[in-house]
C-alpha cells in the first residue's frame, strides 16, 4: 500500500508481478483493501492517508483530473463520494489513453491530478519535471480470462486456452494488455493459436461479449465493466501480471489543495473500496 | 458518373474564367488535400525500401490484400452487375428504397458495417448461426470474412457506376437487336456489355481501390491475424505502434495504387465517348 514512486526516472520500476498473495476474488479484494490501508496507516503513517480526515470539507473550486480510460467508471464512483465529503469541489475528468494524457500534460494542459495506467507514462511526466511531489501506486489491475456468461465451455484456467478448437482472441501485443497477456501465458507455459489479435483490450472483450470468441484475456476491471455480458475466470497469482496504476498531483496544478485531497481520498479506505468494487486490486 | 456525356464539354478552359479568389481558395483546398500525401512521401524510408518490403509482416499483408481485394472485385462483378441491370431496366414497388439500401455501405461508417456483418454472418448471426449448426463452418476471423467485408463496402461503388452507365446505353440499339430476333442473353452480351465497357471498367477500378483500402469492417468482422486476416490497412494501424517505418512504407504503397487508379479513371472521364 502507498508504495512511494519518486518522480525521478530512476525509481519507476514496475512491481514484481509474480509476488504472491494477490487475490483475484472481488469480495476478498474489498476487505483486503481496507486492511491494507489500515496497515499502511499504522505502519508508516503515510501523510496522504492521515491528511484524509483533515482535508474533508476544506477544499473547494474546480478540480481537474486526468485519468486513464480504464479508470472511467471507477473514478466516477470515486468523485461522487469525494464530492459528498467536499461539497464545494467540482470534479472535471479528462479520460484518454495514458500516453495521450501524459503528452497533453507535458504540452501544458491545465490539470491538478494525473492517474496513469502504467508507470512508464507517469515517468514521462515526472521526467519533464511536471509533478508536484512523488507519484504513488494507488491501485492495480490483474488479468482475467474473459468467457461467455455462465462459462459454457467450462474454462478453468490458462491451460484450457491451448485447445486448438477454442476461438481465442487476444489484445495485440502492441498494446499493454496484449503484452501482459503474453507474459501470463508464458509464465503458465501455455502455447495458444489465437484467431485474432485485437487492436485494444475492449475490442478483444467485445468479441467475447458478442459470442464470436470463446475466450480472451483482459483486465479484471473490464470484466466488471462488461456488466454480465462476459464472465471472468481468475488467473492464479503466480501466472498473473499486475498492471500498476500511479497517481500524482501536478506541479502546475491550478488547485493543488483539492488535488492533494483527491489523491488522499483515492488512497483512503473508502477510495480503495470503490476501486475494488470496480474490479481493481490492491497495489 | 457522367463520363459518357463527355463530348459536349471539351477539356479546354472555354468561356469566362472564374474569379481570381476562386483560384486562391482552390489552391488552398488542393494544399489541404495534397499536404498529407506529401508528408507521407517525405517520411517513407526510401533507403530501407528493399528491407522493409520483404519484411514478412509487410509481405504477408501485401499478398493478403491483393488476393482478397481481387476476390472481392470478382464477387462484386458477378453479383453487382446483375443488380445494376435490375436497377436500370426494371421497375418495381419500393425501388428507390431498395436502391438506397444497396448503396448504403458507401456512406455507412465501416465499423458499423462490420458490426452488421457480425450480426448477419457471425457465429450468433442471422445466417451465421444456422450455417455453423449445419456445417460447423464459422466465418469471422477467416480470409473469407476479409473478402465478405471488402465486398460489402466496395460493391456499391461498382453498382452505382455500372447502373448510371447502363442508363447511357442507347435503348434503341437493344430494341433494334430484339426486332432482328436476338434473345435477351444475346442482346446483353453483344449490345449492352460492349457499350457498357467504359463504365464497367471505371466501376471495377473504384470497387477494387475501395476494397484494397478497407479497414473498419475488416478489423471488426474478420479480426486481425498476420497471414490470415491482416490486410495492409490493418498492418499500417498496428505497425504504427511498433514499426512506424514499415507503416509509412505500406501507407505509401496503398497511396501509390490509389493514385494510379484515380489517374487512370480521370483519363477515362476525359477521353471516352
Q: Give me the CATH number covering residue B55.
A: 1.10.3720.10
Asked whether residue A7 falls in the same domain as residue A103, the answer is yes
Q: Does residue A147 lie in a domain region?
A: yes
Based on the fold, state whether residues A213 and A181 are members of the same structural domain: yes
Taking 80 as the threshold, does the pLDDT of residue A82 lie above it? yes
Q: Is residue B7 part of a domain?
A: no
| Structural contact between residues B55 and B136, judged by C-beta atoms closer than 8 angstroms | no
Beta carbons of A201 and A218 less than 8 angstroms apart = yes
Q: Are residues A57 and A94 in the same domain?
A: yes
Which residues, in sequence order, are CB contacts of A262 under 8 Å at separation 6+? Answer: A63, A65, A82, A91, A112, A113
Whether A100 is in a domain gets the answer yes
Cβ contact, residue pair B225, A212, below 8 Å: no
Both A31 and A132 in a single domain?
yes
Q: Give the torsion through C-alpha atoms of A87, A65, A62, A110, to 10 deg.
A: 170
What are the residues whose beta carbons fall under 8 Å from the beta carbon of B158, sequence distance 6 or more?
Answer: B76, B77, B80, B81, B84, B203, B204, B206, B207
What's the domain range around A213?
143-234
Query: A178 and A74, same structural domain?
Result: no
Same domain, A260 and A149: no
Alpha-carbon distance of A78 to B150, in angstroms, equals 44
- pLDDT for residue B269: 57
Which domain, by its residues, includes B247?
Answer: 48-271
Contacts of B219 in chain A (CB under 8 A): 199, 203
pLDDT at B268: 64
Nearest Cα to B258, choosing from B215, B218, B210?
B210
pLDDT digits (tens, 9 = 90+) for A19-45: 333 334 444 444 444 444 444 444 443
Count: domains in chain B: 1
Phi, psi (5° rounding) for residue A80?
-60, -50
Chain B, window 84-143: residues with a beta carbon less than 8 angstroms from a chain A beta carbon? 118, 122-124, 138, 140-141
Kindly indicate the confidence band of residue A48, based on its pLDDT and cuts at 50, 70 and 90. very low
In whole angstroms, what is the distance from residue A204 CA to residue A218 CA? Answer: 8
Tell whether A282 is covered by a domain. no
Q: Is residue B24 part of a domain?
A: no
Check if the beta carbon of residue B248 is closer than 8 Å to that of residue B82: no
The answer to whether residue B30 sits within a structural domain is no
Asked if residue A170 lies in contact with residue A112, where contact means CB atoms within 8 angstroms, the answer is no
Closest CA in chain A for residue B219: A198
Confirm whether A104 is domain-assigned. yes
Is A283 inside a domain boundary?
Answer: no
Tell me if B33 is assigned to some domain: no
Nearest Cβ partner of A211 from B123, B225, B226? B123
Question: pLDDT tens, position by position, for chain B (273 residues)?
Answer: 444 444 444 445 557 888 889 999 999 999 998 998 898 888 888 888 888 878 888 889 999 999 999 999 999 999 999 999 999 999 999 999 999 999 999 999 999 999 999 999 999 999 999 999 999 999 999 999 999 999 999 999 999 999 999 998 888 988 999 999 999 999 999 999 999 999 999 999 999 999 999 999 999 999 999 999 999 999 988 877 677 788 888 888 888 888 888 888 776 655 544
- Same domain? For A134 and A42 the reply is yes
Give the count of domains, chain A: 2
The reply to whether A149 touches chain B by the CB within 8 Å rule is: no
Question: What is the least distance, in Å, from the CA of B149 to any CA of chain A?
Answer: 16
Collapse the DSSP code of B230 into the 3-class scheme (helix H, G, I; strand E, B; otherwise coil) and give the result.
coil
Q: Is the Cβ–Cβ distance between B127 and B120 less than 8 Å?
A: yes
A75 with A201, same domain?
A: no
Residues A224 and A250 in one domain: no
H helix intervals, A45-156: 47-55, 72-85, 98-106, 119-127
Q: Is the ipTM of this complex over 0.90?
A: no
Q: Quick check: A212 and B124 CB within 8 A?
A: yes
**A266: domain CATH number?**
3.40.190.10
Q: Quick one: angle between helices B56-89 and B244-271, nearest 10? A: 30
Domain presence at residue A73? yes
Would you say residue B38 lies in a domain?
no
Strand partners, A169: A196
Report d(CA A215, CA A181) in Å as an integer.
12
Residue A51, domain member (yes or no):
yes
Which residue among A174, A197, A210 places its CB closest to the CB of B124?
Answer: A210
Say if the Cβ atoms of B238 and A174 lie within 8 Å.
Answer: yes
* Same structural domain, A115 and A47: yes
Q: Is residue A209 part of a domain?
A: yes
Phi, psi of A171 (to 5 degrees): -65, 140
Which residue, B268, B258, B242, is CA-closest to B55? B242
A169 grid coordinates: 482472441
Q: What is the pLDDT of residues A100-156, one digit of tens each?
A: 888 899 989 999 999 998 898 899 999 999 999 999 999 999 999 999 999 999 999
Q: Are residues A71 and A151 in the same domain?
A: no
A196 with A113, same domain: the answer is no
Query: What is the residue whose three cell numbers read 430476333?
Result: B181
In a domain, B124, yes or no: yes
> What pLDDT does B271 receive?
52
Closest-CA distance of chain B to residue A48, Å = 37
Amino acid at each position: 500500500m502507498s508504495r512511494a514512486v519518486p518522480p525521478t526516472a530512476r525509481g519507476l520500476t514496475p512491481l514484481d508481478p509474480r509476488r504472491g498473495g494477490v487475490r483475484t476474488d472481488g469480495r476478498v479484494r474489498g476487505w483486503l483493501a481496507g486492511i491494507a490501508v489500515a496497515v499502511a496507516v499504522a505502519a508508516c503513517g503515510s501523510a496522504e492517508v492521515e491528511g484524509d480526515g483533515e482535508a474533508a470539507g476544506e477544499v473547494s473550486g474546480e478540480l481537474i483530473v486526468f485519468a486513464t480510460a480504464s479508470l472511467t467508471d471507477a473514478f466516477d464512483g470515486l468523485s461522487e463520494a469525494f464530492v459528498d465529503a467536499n461539497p464545494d469541489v467540482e470534479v472535471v475528468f479528462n479520460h484518454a489513453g495514458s500516453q495521450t494524457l501524459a503528452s497533453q500534460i507535458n504540452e501544458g494542459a491545465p490539470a491538478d491530478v494525473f492517474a496513469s495506467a502504467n508507470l512508464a507514462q507517469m515517468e514521462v511526466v515526472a521526467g519533464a519535471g511536471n509533478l508536484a511531489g512523488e507519484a504513488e501506486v494507488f491501485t492495480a489491475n490483474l488479468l482475467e480470462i474473459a468467457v461467455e456468461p455462465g462459462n459454457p465451455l467450462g474454462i478453468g484456467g490458462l491451460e484450457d486456452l491451448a485447445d486448438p478448437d477454442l476461438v481465442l482472441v487476444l489484445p495485440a501485443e502492441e498494446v499493454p494488455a496484449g503484452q501482459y497477456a503474453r507474459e501470463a501465458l508464458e509464465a503458465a507455459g501455455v502455447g495458444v493459436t489465437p484467431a485474432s489479435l485485437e487492436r485494444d483490450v475492449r475490442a478483444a472483450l467485445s468479441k467475447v461479449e458478442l459470442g464470436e470468441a470463446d475466450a480472451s484475456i483482459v483486465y479484471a476491471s473490464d470484466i466488471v465493466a462488461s456488466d454480465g455480458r462476459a464472465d471472468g475466470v481468475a488467473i492464479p497469482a503466480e501466472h498473473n501480471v499486475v498492471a500498476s496504476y500511479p497517481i500524482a498531483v501536478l506541479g502546475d496544478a491550478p488547485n493543488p489543495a483539492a488535488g492533494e485531497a483527491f489523491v488522499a481520498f483515492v488512497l483512503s479506505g473508502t477510495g480503495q473500496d470503490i476501486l475494488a468494487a470496480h474490479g481493481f486490486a490492491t497495489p | 458518373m457522367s463520363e459518357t456525356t463527355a463530348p459536349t464539354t471539351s477539356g479546354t478552359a472555354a468561356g469566362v474564367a472564374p474569379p481570381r479568389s476562386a483560384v486562391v481558395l482552390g489552391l488552398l483546398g488542393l494544399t489541404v488535400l495534397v499536404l498529407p500525401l506529401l508528408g507521407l512521401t517525405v517520411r517513407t524510408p526510401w533507403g530501407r525500401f528493399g528491407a522493409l518490403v520483404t519484411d514478412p509482416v509487410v509481405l504477408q499483408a501485401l499478398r493478403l490484400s491483393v488476393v482478397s481485394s481481387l476476390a472481392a472485385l470478382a464477387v462484386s462483378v458477378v453479383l453487382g452487375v446483375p443488380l445494376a441491370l435490375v436497377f436500370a431496366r426494371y421497375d418495381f414497388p419500393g425501388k428507390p428504397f431498395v436502391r438506397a439500401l444497396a448503396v448504403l455501405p458507401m456512406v455507412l461508417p465501416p465499423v458499423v458495417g462490420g458490426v452488421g456483418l457480425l450480426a448477419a454472418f457471425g457465429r450468433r448471426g442471422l445466417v451465421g448461426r444456422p450455417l455453423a449448426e449445419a456445417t460447423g463452418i464459422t466465418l469471422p476471423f477467416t480470409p473469407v470474412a476479409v473478402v465478405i467485408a471488402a465486398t460489402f463496402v466496395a460493391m456499391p461503388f461498382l453498382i452505382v457506376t455500372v447502373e448510371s452507365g447502363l442508363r447511357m446505353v442507347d435503348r434503341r440499339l437493344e430494341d433494334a437487336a430484339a426486332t432482328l430476333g436476338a434473345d435477351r442473353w444475346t442482346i446483353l452480351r453483344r449490345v449492352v456489355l460492349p457499350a457498357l465497357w467504359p463504365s464497367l471498367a471505371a466501376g471495377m477500378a473504384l470497387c477494387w481501390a475501395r476494397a484494397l483500402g478497407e479497414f473498419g469492417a475488416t478489423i471488426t468482422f474478420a479480426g486481425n491475424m498476420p497471414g490470415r486476416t491482416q490486410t495492409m490497412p490493418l498492418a499500417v494501424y498496428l505497425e504504427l505502434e511498433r514499426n512506424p517505418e514499415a507503416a509509412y512504407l505500406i501507407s505509401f504503397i496503398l497511396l501509390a495504387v490509389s493514385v494510379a487508379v484515380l489517374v487512370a479513371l480521370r483519363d477515362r472521364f476525359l477521353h471516352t465517348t
